[in-house]
């Protein structure tokens, strides 16, 4: 098996976001629908959503990887990730560990609140202290989630494109992330700004902002892991000016 190579210091965060915006703008209906379905599937069914996170993100990545090379794409490709369900599910579960922990804590607090609803003042005081502890842990969780998500940024597209096994996928993603940490941190900040602008746009804009952020991460992946020669997805090269500097090479 050929060793998969990656490029260090390859990410131009502003290019990732700009290219993602241009990509989505030209097929707005497709990406709006794909983004909306992805968001609904990975956020609306507690606990079950973590089993579907990897396959759904895999399908979205598949569409972007093909579209950035001007290959035909359609909405049905969103479910291509289910063809590699087991490895993508496992990666999704690993990525979702912070979320799983948070959901368990939330249900614990809700249950404790219900039980203590008619308790004595002392019991209610203990409950307040417990809730304060949960808030503190939640702040720690947010930091942990950001670091955890960054570490596995490239895991899903690696499986989609290279069929790497779980161990190799995690190793490659970690190595590539540490080799591009500055660019990824800046990309995460820009994605946050895009999301914030989406929320400010009467919240409707979030359904555009999230697909842009998803696609920007795939562009970052492509900068770090250049397209393999003769790859199985049979990409057609884009014109040199299709995506600005990215289209002219890394």
How would residue 3 be classed by pLDDT, with cut points 50, 70 and 90? confident
- Where residue 9 falls (left for φ over 0; alpha for ψ -120 to 50; beta otherwise) is left
| Number of domains the chain is built from | 1
212 located within any domain = yes
Q: Which helix (H) or strand (E) holds 180?
A: none
Specify whether the CB–CB gap between 52 and 79 falls below 8 A. no
119 located within any domain = no
Nearest to 215 by CA among 9, 100, 40, 62: 62
pLDDT, tens only, 118-171 = 445 544 455 555 556 666 666 776 777 778 778 899 999 999 999 999 999 999
> Which residues touch 151 (CB under 8 Å, ≥6 apart)?
173, 174, 177
CA dist 38 to 31, 52, 61, 78, 137, Å? 10, 9, 11, 8, 28
Nearest to 78 by CA among 110, 37, 117: 37
Is the pLDDT score of 193 beyond 80? yes
134 located within any domain = no
DSSP secondary structure code for residue 22 in this structure: H
Q: What is the pTM of this model?
A: 0.77
Q: In this predicted structure, what is the pLDDT of residue 20?
A: 95
186 located within any domain = yes
Specify whether the CB–CB gap between 75 and 34 falls below 8 A. yes
Residue 58 CA to residue 23 CA, distance in Å, equals 18
115 located within any domain = no
78 located within any domain = yes
Residue 10 CA to residue 176 CA, distance in Å, equals 10
109 located within any domain = no
What's the whole-number mean pLDDT along residues 35-47? Answer: 83
Q: In this predicted structure, what is the pLDDT of residue 97?
A: 79
CA dist 27 to 69, 72, 179, Å? 14, 11, 32
pLDDT, tens only, 72-121 = 999 999 999 999 999 999 998 888 777 777 666 666 655 555 455 544 55
> Which residues touch 23 (CB under 8 Å, ≥6 apart)?
31, 64, 67, 68, 215, 243
Specify whether the CB–CB gap between 124 and 196 falls below 8 A. no
Structural domain range at position 22: 13-102+140-223+232-242
Whether the CA torsion 40, 77, 172, 51 is positive or negative: it is: positive
Q: In this predicted structure, what is the pLDDT of residue 56?
A: 94
Is the pLDDT score of 71 beyond 60? yes
85 located within any domain = yes
């Amino acid at each position: 098996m050929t060793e998969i190579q990656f490029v260090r210091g390859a990410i131009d965060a502003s290019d990732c976001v700009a290219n993602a915006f241009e990509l989505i703008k030209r097929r707005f209906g497709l990406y709006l629908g794909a983004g909306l379905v992805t968001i609904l599937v990975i956020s609306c069914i507690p606990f079950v959503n973590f089993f579907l996170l990897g396959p759904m993100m895999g399908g979205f990545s598949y569409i972007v990887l093909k579209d950035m090379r001007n290959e035909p794409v359609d909405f049905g490709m969103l479910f291509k990730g289910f063809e590699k369900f087991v490895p993508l599910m496992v990666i999704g579960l690993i990525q979702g560990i912070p979320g799983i922990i948070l959901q368990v804590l939330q249900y614990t607090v809700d249950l404790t609140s219900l039980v203590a609803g008619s308790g004595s003042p002392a019991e209610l005081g203990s409950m307040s202290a417990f809730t304060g502890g949960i808030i503190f842990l939640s702040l720690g969780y947010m930091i942990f989630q950001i670091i955890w998500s960054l570490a596995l940024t490239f895991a899903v597209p690696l499986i989609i494109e290279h069929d790497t096994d779980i161990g190799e996928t995690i190793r490659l993603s970690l190595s590539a992330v540490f080799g591009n940490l500055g660019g990824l941190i800046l990309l995460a900040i820009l994605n946050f700004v895009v999301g914030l602008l989406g929320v400010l746009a009467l919240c409707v804009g979030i359904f555009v902002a999230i697909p842009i952020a998803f696609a920007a991460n795939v562009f970052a992946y492509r900068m770090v892991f250049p397209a393999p020669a003769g790859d199985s997805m049979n990409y057609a090269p884009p014109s040199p000016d299709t995506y600005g500097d990215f289209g002219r090479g890394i």
